[in-house]
Structure 1
Amino acid sequence: MTSSGQGDQNYDVVVVGNGALGQSLALTLARRGHRVAMVGRPNRPWAASAAAGAMLGCFGEITESLVASEYGRLKLNLDVHAARMWPSWAAQLAEESGGEDVRTAEGTVVILNTIGVPGIDDVNYAAIQAELRRHDEPFSDVDPADLEWLDPDPGARPLKAFHIPNEHAVNAAALLDQLHVAFVRAGGTVLPELATRVDYAHGRARGVVLESGSLVRGEHVVLAAGVRSQDLLATVPDVAATVPPLVSGYGVSALVRTGDGTAPGSVIRTPNRAFACGLHVVPRGQGEVYVGATNIISTDPVETAVIRDLDFLLDCAGAQVRRNLHNSGLHRVQVGNRPVALDGFPLLGEAGLSGLWMMTGTYRDGLHLSPLLAGEMARRILGEEPEFELDAFRPVRAPIQAATREEIVEGAVVHQLATGYECDWKVPINWPSLIEAQLRPAYLKLADDIDPTFTPPPELLDAARLQPTLVKMLRDYYAASRVSA
């Protein structure tokens, strides 16, 4: 169900992007009677939400480093409030679209197994529980032997586990379909093309130019196209120089039809580890599961899964969650590109031109945050009183650095070693300490070579070792931030 928008090309708001964030904002504005155009190809190339496991897991995603900084705690506060919005948000979507409940999992089980390293898995496992207690969220320890669907290789057996009853998951594809139908029924216009340029004059955004060459005018323009928002922002060079550039957190996931026709009732996941979100298996209906996900920083979005990454993912799932997955059918391989700002934090708010807004850079939790950010960005666009603190994440800002250089380097070292253990490396017993001794000065030198003061997050620092393009992006960004300051 698509409105072509061939007539009226003047709108109150033009939302560029049709993933979870863009559609949620467009729908929120259309519900309130505003003329809204949503721009984006129907197949959503490069999108993160189209390939997401869609775990509504604000607590399951917690890491020790997240809650150690003011900015991380602010982001967690948004996640907690978003989680509370999901029941009513999903119910209203189902009613407006004529669809069914998109929930696929009841609760989440977090396992601590023998594959991870104490400096990451143990401390993140404890950090999740500490925040659950702090927010009075229920959870209960469980004996891994009592988890019927869990059947890992004995060498990867879980040491302990706990259940979070209120952290569910949804079917991302069904959610995106419901958002689309509800938006059109609310009177919104879908323009199934890519936007190629922001149109602006005299310090104000006026609309966007589509790949067909047509101009779509709007009082407000919102860049919510994930990592591809960077291409559009680059067409406004003076503004782009003041905003942290976006790169991709490329990830591979798989839909698997289980060989025995079973699926768990809940999400099964590890804590976040090794520069990535934790290994997770999410039920997607009888006999089908979602297996995710990898995370590799790339300066350009990735369209096709790399065999190495898929092989690693499926091996991890079979060894750490359920051995019988190796006898299952690979139904679909999915590729997503998480939008990652160079300082690691979201880009939310007006962006250097009157009427130009950004709603991206949310990394791993854009879909989870979509109900909250849709309402909050709509309030800001319409000039209403905000309800949540987003100003720390405004696009035009100095680089955010949530830890010291030494702490970031140490994080990069530990995560790099953890990657080796998760890949089941076979090295002499004394080699990890030798590798660690080499990594630390190498990361420090790289950080010094990039900038004397600013240091990117650990996963970007690590990725810069092998990506000269990323090194240049970081150097240019830090230099530009000093000029704009």
Structure 2
Amino acid sequence: MSERQQQDVVVVGNGAIGASIAFELCRRGFGVTRVGRPSRPYAASYAAGAMLGCFGEVTTSLLESDHGRAKLDMDYRARRYWEQWDRDLSESSGDDSSLFTADGTFVLLNTVGSAPVDSGNMHAVEAALKEYDEPYEAIDPEEMDWLAPNDLARSLKGLYIPGEHAVDSHRLLAKLDQALIRRGGRIVDAEARRVRVTGDRVTGVELESGDLLTAEHVVIAAGAKSLTLLDELDDVRRRIPPMVSGYGVSALVETEDRRLPSSVIRTPNRAFACGLHCVPRADGVLYLGATNIISPQPRQFAAVGDLQFLLGCAVDQLHTNLAEAALLSVQVGNRPVPADGFPLLGSAGVEGLWLATGTYRDGLHQSPLLARHMASLLEGKGEEYDFLSSFAPVRAPLATGTREQIVRTTVDHMMATGYEHKWNVVSEWPPRIERHLRRSYTTVVEELHPRFTPPAELVAAMTDGIHDALVGYYQAWS
């Protein structure tokens, strides 16, 4: 095994969070080496629509817990950094092209989905906008430019949020690469195998090649694969919420007439997923997203059925002429989803070892804020944001709601999935299905632990592997 020159910090991961942290540390004077494959396999950032939305993402369940409200506050604060972040990256990278691609966001409630989920989340979005005194306006979807859905999927009401934009995720990652190099940082094209620890402090990162990168600090920001680097730190890892992947499929298409909407168009968040959305990119290219399916392991390729579902929804609910669009690329991302649904931010229980992952759907949006926060921790200045202390990685499970609320949410979302897939069942079946699901999910959570309950996504997606990981984590804190 060879050993390379020691650096102050090794950052493992080159998605939006890892790349942003590496850049921020470098411009604060740290010697930084960033590790990751240039193709960014499995990363969520490359496949992201990169909506800079906090209010458009609000759900009824998010508002039901203090930790959920802290997460909303985190999103709200992160949004304010993006204009300066755009300028900083332009200056440091030497590329003065703007990251921004969309002017505001339209949130539309259409006839697809279900009342408890779609209508409930639409009300939650508006309630949060009022609570934060955020500018918005109610709009008539019939008067919107570009939008042309199937009449069976027409929008009933809409909100326009002028402060919620989007960026080009591909351009963002490229500028972060350039900015790091120009600031004197180093990029290593490799995959990390494990963290190396001597005594009670980190000493570096071992690569798949066998090479060792030594460092005073190691920041793991490798998305859904982050915790695999801690496999040999049993005592630490068992007290950190295990993670699964929120596998998602998105697509880039070129519209037939090259016309695009000028803003993000999206629905409220839907069954276990972000809502259907489209985001304009340059030269007639439109981003369509996105699915979200809980998977025990990250996935590299799209399932045909998931792509078919996404494109069918886009044609029906956004613009029927998208059926004639050219399919340019299919993208797959893996969102890091912790066992309690909340981020893993801060010290990982070993001196010099840090985690910045578990952000689920919000990582790219939060990346400038997280870069500042993690850099302050490494500088020894303490928490940049005190309210993030509850998201320290070594922690007992955080609650997304009461057990009854979580079971109800799981049932509501499973039923909504049926409506999204246009099921056609006789009228007496839905209440029978709901009763069966409620009994089934109640049994699942009661058998896991007498007090701890995972979020609805994990309850619905329970497999033997997820079950065993949850049981082991819960036992560590019982």
Q: What TM-score, normalized by structure 2, do the two folds share?
A: 0.98
1:471 aligns with 2:471: no
CA deviations over 1:209-250 (Å, ceiling 9, x no partner): 011111101111111000111110222112101101111000
1:189 aligns with 2:189: no
Kept after mapping to 1: 8 A contact 2:20/2:368: yes
The aligned amino acid for 1:346 is P
Tell me the residue number matched to 1:480. Answer: 476
Residue among 29, 32, 42 paired with 1:33: 29
TM-superposed CA distance for 1:372, in Å, is 0.4
SS of 1:390 mapped into structure 2: helix
SS of 2:259 mapped into structure 1: coil
Tell me the residue number matched to 2:329. Answer: 332
TM-superposed CA distance for 1:8, in Å, is 5.5
The aligned amino acid for 1:352 is G
Q: Distance in 2 between matches of 1:226 and 1:273?
A: 23
Q: Distance in 1 between matches of 2:382 and 2:457?
A: 36
SS of 2:477 mapped into structure 1: helix
- Map of 1:448-459 to 2, 5 A cutoff? 448-459=446-457
CA deviations over 1:19-64 (Å, ceiling 9, x no partner): 0000100000101121011011111111010110000001100111
Identity of aligned residues (%): 53
CA deviations over 1:297-332 (Å, ceiling 9, x no partner): 111000010011111111111111111111111110
The aligned amino acid for 2:347 is E
The aligned amino acid for 1:393 is F
Task: Name whichever of 209-218 and 383-392 sits farther off.
Answer: 383-392
Residue among 85, 88, 93 paired with 2:84: 88
Q: Distance in 2 between matches of 1:402 and 1:19?
A: 26
Kept after mapping to 2: 8 A contact 1:263/1:286: no
Tell me the residue number matched to 1:427. Answer: 425
The aligned amino acid for 1:40 is G
Q: Distance in 1 between matches of 2:470 and 2:243?
A: 11
Q: Distance in 1 between matches of 2:4 and 2:249?
A: 39
Tell me the residue number matched to 1:107. Answer: 104
Give the root-mean-square deviation of aligned CA atoms. Answer: 1.2
Unmatched tracts of structure 2, length 5 or more: none
Residue among 31, 43, 49 paired with 1:47: 43
Kept after mapping to 2: 8 A contact 1:113/1:158: yes
Residue among 406, 409, 426 paired with 2:407: 409
Tell me the residue number matched to 1:134. Answer: 131
Kept after mapping to 1: 8 A contact 2:224/2:244: yes
Q: Aligned residues, how many?
A: 475
Q: Distance in 1 between matches of 2:427 and 2:329?
A: 39
Tell me the residue number matched to 1:263. Answer: 260
CA deviations over 1:433-481 (Å, ceiling 9, x no partner): 12111111011111122222211100100000xx221111111221122
1:380 aligns with 2:395: no
Kept after mapping to 1: 8 A contact 2:67/2:399: no
Q: Distance in 2 between matches of 1:429 and 1:281?
A: 33
Q: Distance in 1 between matches of 2:454 and 2:383?
A: 30
Tell me the residue number matched to 1:294. Answer: 291
The aligned amino acid for 2:318 is V
Tell me the residue number matched to 1:10. Answer: 6
Kept after mapping to 1: 8 A contact 2:3/2:213: no
Q: Distance in 2 between matches of 1:198 and 1:92?
A: 31
TM-superposed CA distance for 1:7, in Å, is 9.4
Tell me the residue number matched to 1:56. Answer: 52
Tell me the residue number matched to 2:356. Answer: 359
Tell me the residue number matched to 1:306. Answer: 303
- Map of 1:212-251 to 2, 5 A cutoff? 212-251=209-248
TM-superposed CA distance for 1:431, in Å, is 1.5
The aligned amino acid for 1:392 is S
Residue among 443, 447, 451 paired with 2:445: 447
The aligned amino acid for 1:76 is L
Kept after mapping to 1: 8 A contact 2:4/2:214: no
The aligned amino acid for 2:331 is Q
The aligned amino acid for 2:82 is W
TM-superposed CA distance for 1:192, in Å, is 0.8
TM-superposed CA distance for 1:116, in Å, is 2.1
The aligned amino acid for 1:78 is M
Task: Name whichever of 427-436 and 147-156 sits farther off.
Answer: 427-436
1:390 aligns with 2:414: no
Kept after mapping to 1: 8 A contact 2:191/2:208: yes
Kept after mapping to 2: 8 A contact 1:262/1:286: no
TM-superposed CA distance for 1:273, in Å, is 0.9
Kept after mapping to 2: 8 A contact 1:168/1:266: yes
Task: Name whichever of 158-167 and 467-476 sits farther off.
Answer: 467-476
Q: Distance in 1 between matches of 2:60 and 2:282?
A: 33
Q: Distance in 2 between matches of 1:230 and 1:386?
A: 23
Unmatched tracts of structure 1, length 5 or more: 1-5
The aligned amino acid for 2:191 is L
TM-superposed CA distance for 1:136, in Å, is 1.9
SS of 1:75 mapped into structure 2: helix
TM-superposed CA distance for 1:117, in Å, is 1.3
Q: Distance in 2 between matches of 1:59 and 1:240?
A: 33
The aligned amino acid for 2:144 is L
Q: Distance in 2 between matches of 1:363 and 1:386?
A: 21
Tell me the residue number matched to 1:3. Answer: none
Q: Distance in 2 between matches of 1:461 and 1:402?
A: 12
CA deviations over 1:162-181 (Å, ceiling 9, x no partner): 11111000110110000000
Kept after mapping to 2: 8 A contact 1:9/1:215: no
Kept after mapping to 2: 8 A contact 1:151/1:322: yes
Tell me the residue number matched to 1:149. Answer: 146
1:179 aligns with 2:171: no
Residue among 159, 170, 180 paired with 2:156: 159
SS of 1:274 mapped into structure 2: coil
TM-superposed CA distance for 1:187, in Å, is 0.4
The aligned amino acid for 1:52 is A
Kept after mapping to 1: 8 A contact 2:206/2:213: yes
The aligned amino acid for 1:281 is C
TM-superposed CA distance for 1:207, in Å, is 0.5
CA deviations over 1:374-419 (Å, ceiling 9, x no partner): 0011001110143312110000000111211111010000000000
Kept after mapping to 1: 8 A contact 2:113/2:416: yes
Q: Distance in 2 between matches of 1:203 and 1:481?
A: 21
Tell me the residue number matched to 1:73. Answer: 69
